[in-house]
Chains A and B, each alone.
Chain A
Amino acid sequence: MPVPLLTDSAMRTSENQLTSMTADPSITVTVRDLRKHYTVHEKEPGIRGSLRSFVRRNSRQVHAVDGVSFDLEAGEMVGFLGPNGAGKTTTLKMLAGLLHPSGGQVRIGPYTPKERRTGFLKLITLVMGQKQQLIWDLPAYDSFLVNQAIYEVPDDQFKATMHEFIETLELEQIVKKQVRKLSLGERMKCELAAAPLHRPRVLFLDEPTIGLDVNMQVRIREFVADYNRRYNATVMLTSHYMADVTALCNRIIVIDKGRIIFDGDLSRLVEQTAPAKIIRLQLSTPVTVEHLASYGHVHSFDGLNVELKVPRAETTRIAARLLAELPVADVTIEDPPIEEIIGQMFSQMRAEQRDQAAAGEPASVA
C-alpha cells in the first residue's frame, strides 16, 4: 500500500479537518426495523398477456427489505453482501434518502435521510457502479468544478482534495480528457473521485468495482481505504467481488430476501459457516492419493502439491500428524475462500427452507 503523499496544503487542510472533526459529534448510522414493500404489477409475456393486462392488472406485494436493523460507528467499514435481489441496493437507497421506507427508522447523525436536508446531502455520498453522474461530453474536471460549486467547497480545500485524489487514483492523464473517450475503468475512477469531493463523512458504495480489471479494483480499494483513514469516514460497501470486502471490511452484514442473516466479524462468519480448513502441503517426495485420503478429504493433488480439507477442530492435530509422518517441505493452513463460505451459507439456508417447506415443520439437525 503506497503511503499517500501529503503536500503542505493537503496536510494543513487535513489538520483542519481533524480539529473540526473533534468539534463535530461523531456521525453514527442507526437503522431500526427498516422495511420497504412494493406493489408489483405482473403481465404474462406476449401480445395476449399485454391485451389481458390492458384490461385487468395482477398485482403482488414484494417485501424488498423486511425488517433490517444495524448500527454503524463513525469510521467503520462494513461490507454489505447478499445475492442479487436480496435488498442491498434498496437498503442503500433508503440510507441515502432516495427511497422512502415503508416502515422503520434511519438516522444518520442528526438527520433523517428521506427529508433530504442540505446538511444531510453534504454529509453523505452514494456511488453506484452502473450509474454515472459525470458530464458525458466534457472532461471529468468540469464535472468536478460543478460539484465544487454545488457543494460550496472552498477553493483551497478543493485544490487539496483534488490533488490528493489525483495522486491516489492516478488521474493526471485522465481528468482533462472527454469522459466519453475514457475506458470503463478510467471513467469509474473519475466517478469515484467526483463523489467524495465535498468530503462526506458517510460513503455508500454500490458495486464500485463492477466490470473492472483486477488492477483497477486494487487501486479503487486503496482509494477507499485511504479516504476512510484520512477523514474517519464511515463506509458501507456492496460488491460482487469478495476481494473488495475482505480487503476493506472487518465487519460484514449479509442480507437475504430482505432480512439480515449475519452481522459480525468476517472471522466469526468463517468459523460459523465453514467447519473446515484447508491444509496446503508441499511434499519432497510423491505420496499416493489413497495414503493422503486417510488424513482428510483431498481437495486437489498433483503429486507434490496437495490440498487437504479437514475439520476445523482437528486442524492442529492432523497438521502435526502430517508433519510427523510425511516428507513435508512446506505447510500452510488457510480458511476456504470467502466466496465459497458465503455460497455455502446460502445453499445451506436454501436447503433448510426447502426441508421446512417439504416437512411443514422446523428443520431438524441431521
Chain B
Amino acid sequence: MIRHAARKARVLFTVWFAHMLVYRAEIIIWMLSGSIPLIMMAVWIGKASSSGGSVGGFTAATFAAYFLAVWLTNQCIVAWAAWELDRLVREGLLSPRLLRPLDPIWNELAAHVTEKVLRIPLMIAILFVGVHLVPGTQLTPDIPHVLAYTVCVGFAFGIRFLLSYCTGLLSFWTTQATAIDELYYVVAGFLTGAFAPLSLYPASVRAVIDWLPFPYIVYYPVQVLNGNLAGGGILRVLAVQALWLSVLILIRGMLWRRGLRQYGAVGA
C-alpha cells in the first residue's frame, strides 16, 4: 500500500518535473510579474528615508527584509489549481481523469510542488540582489528560523492550494471559477500583508484580519523567517495553520463529493 503510494508520488513528480522544464521560460515570467511586494518595498523605503529614517519602528533595512520575505513567500505559495480544474471541466478533460483510480488532487499537488522546485534558482538570485541592494538587510537571524519557516511556508502553501482547489471545484456549477479565484489576488494585497506589515494596521482592522486564513498564508511565515517570533509564537502560528488546513480539507472533501454528484447528473 505504502509502496504503491510512494511509487505513484515518485512517478508523478518525475513526469511533472519534465513537464515544467518545458515551461521554464513561462515560470520565470510569472515569477518576475509578481513584483508588487518589491514595489511596496521601494515605496516604504522612500517613506522611511523621507521621515527621518524610520516609520512605525521599521527602517529601510527592516522594510527590505520584510518585503523580500513577502516576495519569497508569495513565490512559494503560488497556486493555479482553480484555473486548471476550470480548464479540465470546460474542455471535458476531467472525464478521462475520473476514470483513473486516483483522486485528481494528487496529480495537481504534484504539479504544483515540482513547479516550486524550478523556482528556487531565481528565488535565490533575486533575494541575493535584494539583500545587497539595501545596506544592513538581514533576512533571517539563524538557521533554526529558516527551518521553522520552511515548515510554515509548506503549511501556507497547503492553505493557498486548497483555497484555490476548492474554488476550482466550483467549476462543477459555474464557469466563473477562475474569476472567483482571482479575487484572492485582489484581496491578498491588504489581507496577507503584501501592501504593508500588518503591525502598521489600525488595531481594529488587525483584530478582524487575524480571524481569517490570509495572514497565515504570508504575514506570519514572514514573521517567522525575519526572526520576529520565537518558539511559542512559531508553534501558535503552526497550530492555527494546521487548523485552517483541516477546515479546508473537510470543505474540499464535501465539495468534491457534491461536485461529482453534480457532474454525474449533468455531465460535461
Contact = CB atoms under 8 A, between A and B. Distances in A.
Task: State if A and B touch, Cβ cutoff 8 Å.
Answer: yes
Interface of A: 38, 90, 93, 96-100, 114, 116, 118, 121-122, 124-126, 128, 131-133, 135, 137-138, 142-143, 145-152
Nearest to B263: A98
Contact of A100 (B10, B19, B95, B264): B264
Contacts, number: 78
A142 B97 contact: no
A98 B264 contact: yes
A100 B261 CA distance: 8
B11 A149 contact: yes
A271 to B, nearest CB: 37
Do most interface residues of chain A lie in helix, strand or loop, or is the interface mixed?
A: mixed
A193 B15 CA distance: 18
A150 B5 CA distance: 9
A99 B267 CA distance: 6
Contacts of A152: 4, 7
Most chain A CB within 10 A, of B95, B97, B263, is at B95
Nearest to B22: A137
Contacts of B267: 90, 93, 98-99
B187 interface: no
B92 interface: yes
A181 B142 CA distance: 49
B15 A146 contact: yes
Do most interface residues of chain B lie in helix, strand or loop, or is the interface mixed?
A: helix
Interface stretch (B53-61, B99-107, B130-138, B241-249): B99-107
Given A98-B264, A142-B15, A152-B4, A133 B22 contact: no
B19 A138 contact: yes
8 contacts: A128-B95, A135-B15, A143-B15, A145-B14, A149-B4, A149-B7, A149-B8, A151-B100
Given A97-B98, A116-B98, A143-B15, 5 more contacts: A118-B101, A125-B99, A126-B95, A131-B95, A146-B11
Contacts of B96: 126, 128, 131-133
A337 B99 CA distance: 36
